[in-house]
Chains A and B, each alone.
Chain A
Amino acid sequence: MAFAIETRGLTKHYGKTRGIVEVDLAVNEGEVFGFLGPNGAGKSTTIRLLLDLIRPTEGTATVLGMDSQADSVEVNRRVGFLPGDVRLYDTMTGREMLTLFGHLRGMTDWPHARAVAERFELDLDIKVGSYSSGNYQKLGLVQAFMHQPDLLILDEPTSALDPLVQQEFYRLVDETKAEGKTVFLSSHVLPEVERIADRVGIIRDGRLIVVEEVEALKARALRRMEIQFAAPVPDGSFDGLPSVREARYHDNSVELMIEGPVDAVVKAAAGYEVHNVVSHEADLEEIFLEMYRGEI
């Protein structure tokens, strides 16, 4: 299978400051790839290198089989890009800005952009500068999707979007994938990408430390579960159960760190009178801390 994005030894230093270091990334055509990492880890640097906004110190990148630098114009023709913390033309209306970008892409009409704007309930006839931050981000997304590109590169696409619009965005990504297109999106929180991404790559301190299927990552991820009982349970009741990594016993409750299925835990708990079960989804930091403790 061809790669939509492939980088080899991609390295960027800003003067003496680290950008990214020897990133080898391969994104398959037709997949949704989540690019995860804390703020400042190098996500935007990687993305800006792919778009030829900045030039690598070392290494190469190909996008849709084309060299990111030599063929940057052709890359831009086939890629839709949402910059991180996007800034748009505040003195124009949304419609005026899309008209300009449409013409720069040789499009006299842009029905797809209108359709996306409609789904987001975005009014295109007011000045961009007077948009709320949510509407600002919506317009950024509309311009990225407007030419129905083969590859979407979206830097923190859901930031500033309210939950309902996020759902609409997830549907849009699903449909885009169903059309055989590739979506590469970055985020600093796992739950955001785990529901739409096929695979995730995790970058930390400028290095790509893991690329994995979302399902595998979730399975390996530790989750915290808290069970509250009617009365104290004996210490050690949950020790040694499959998938329990750690158990702490409080007065009337137990706090567990769980990796994998919770079946044995639930069955063990059933022997007592259970008042409540609180399960916390694993977040990115916990995955970092648990999976890579001592390895980094």
Chain B
Amino acid sequence: MLRSIAGKTIFDSRRSMIGWMIGTAAAAGLVIAIYPIIRDTPEILDLLESYPEAMLELFGIDDINTYTSPPGFLETQLFSTYVPLIFLIFAIGRGVAVLAGEERDRTLDVLLANPVPRERVILEKAGAIAALISVLGLVILVVVLSGSLLYDGWPSVANLISAVISAILMGLTYGLLALAAGAVSGRRGMALGVASGLAVATFIINGLAPLVDGLEWAVRLSPFHYYLDHNPLQNGFHVGNAAVLAGLCVLFLGIAVWGFRRRDVGVARS
């Protein structure tokens, strides 16, 4: 594991990763455990119908009628709430720590004294973030798959994998945004602020833009739109939406490499 910068970055997370895996599994397990309550309580639909449309939209409930079906339930209760919350906090945290955090700790000097070009430092750290997020995705996948042993009408394995891939791409998008902000600025606070600020803003845009006349188009500016818009749990993989998120990842990676190669290291005060 200590053979490369990517391995070292994963090595650094080995302890906290156990906590993240347990927390992720617990959140997913809990949601799956409460499914029978929702399924067997038709009155909940009446409650939902009384909610304003904006609220439903924010909760990711597109269609009340599918809410009590397993795919609808999983999408609203797990993939629209816990999954983005966990993946974003995790990915942004890693994206900030691996570069801006290391620069603030001033260990970047000895790391860069090794015969390793700066772009490789970025690429390996980005690769480590992708691997770590994928581990959390795998945890979600395994836990949710176990639901198919318990309930009828559970989404297919292929559709669940599609949703998890979508979630990994969405998390990675924001993780690499944080990495890029740190690579360009050299400031930990800046990296954290830019990434989490944009995450909140784009989450709200995704929820509210469709409700505002004349602003429906704005939803396309939010990466979240490309995460669940195609209802992967019902419809499976969507190449176009995945390509948009992957494209954003590549863009942020490019910005990170460009920003890190061009500037002085270890001079910013953050």
What residues of chain A have their CB less than 8 Å away from a CB belonging to chain B?
Answer: 14, 48, 51, 53-55, 72-74, 76-77, 79, 81, 83, 85-92, 96, 99-101, 103-105, 140, 143
B1-54 residues with Cβ-Cβ distance < 8 A to A are 2-5, 8, 11-12
Give Cα A51 to B267, complex, Å: 14
Which 7 residue pairs across A and B have the least CB separation, nearest first? A54-B264, A77-B115, A87-B106, A83-B109, A104-B114, A81-B113, A76-B115
Question: A103 contacts B4, CB within 8 Å?
Answer: yes
Give Cα A96 to B114, complex, Å: 15
Q: Which residue of A lies closest to B266 (CB)?
A: A53
B110 lies within 8 A of chain A by Cβ: yes
Give Cα A89 to B114, complex, Å: 14
B265 lies within 8 A of chain A by Cβ: yes
Give Cα A85 to B266, complex, Å: 13
Question: A53 contacts B109, CB within 8 Å?
Answer: yes
Question: A104 contacts B109, CB within 8 Å?
Answer: no
Residue numbers in A under 8 Å from B105 (CB-CB): 87, 90
A-B contact count (CB 8 A): 69
B117 lies within 8 A of chain A by Cβ: yes
Distance in Å: Cβ of B105 to nearest Cβ of chain A: 6
B100-123 residues with Cβ-Cβ distance < 8 A to A are 105-107, 109-110, 112-117
Question: B267 contacts A103, CB within 8 Å?
Answer: no
Question: A89 contacts B264, CB within 8 Å?
Answer: no
Residue numbers in A under 8 Å from B4 (CB-CB): 103-104
B228-270 residues with Cβ-Cβ distance < 8 A to A are 263-267
Question: A87 contacts B116, CB within 8 Å?
Answer: no
Question: A86 contacts B5, CB within 8 Å?
Answer: no
Question: A74 contacts B265, CB within 8 Å?
Answer: no
Question: B12 contacts A91, CB within 8 Å?
Answer: yes
Question: B113 contacts A51, CB within 8 Å?
Answer: yes
Question: B12 contacts A83, CB within 8 Å?
Answer: no
Residue numbers in A under 8 Å from B267 (CB-CB): 14, 54
Residue numbers in A under 8 Å from B106 (CB-CB): 83, 85, 87
Question: A96 contacts B2, CB within 8 Å?
Answer: yes
Partner of B2 from the list A14, A74, A90, A99 (CB cut-off 8 Å) is A99
Q: Which residue of B lies closest to A49 (CB)?
A: B264
Q: Which residue of A lies closest to B109 (CB)?
A: A83
Question: A83 contacts B265, CB within 8 Å?
Answer: no
Q: Which residue of A lies closest to B265 (CB)?
A: A53
Distance in Å: Cβ of B143 to nearest Cβ of chain A: 30
Residue numbers in B under 8 Å from A72 (CB-CB): 117
Partner of A76 from the list B3, B5, B114 (CB cut-off 8 Å) is B114
Question: B109 contacts A101, CB within 8 Å?
Answer: no
Question: B2 contacts A86, CB within 8 Å?
Answer: no
Question: B116 contacts A73, CB within 8 Å?
Answer: yes
Q: List 13 A-B contacts (CB under 8 A).
A: A14-B267, A48-B109, A54-B266, A55-B264, A73-B115, A79-B113, A81-B110, A83-B106, A86-B109, A87-B106, A90-B105, A91-B12, A100-B2
Distance in Å: Cβ of A246 to nearest Cβ of chain B: 44
Give Cα A85 to B117, complex, Å: 23
Residue numbers in B under 8 Å from A105 (CB-CB): 114-115
Question: B2 contacts A89, CB within 8 Å?
Answer: no
Residue numbers in A under 8 Å from B107 (CB-CB): 87-89
Residue numbers in A under 8 Å from B117 (CB-CB): 72-73
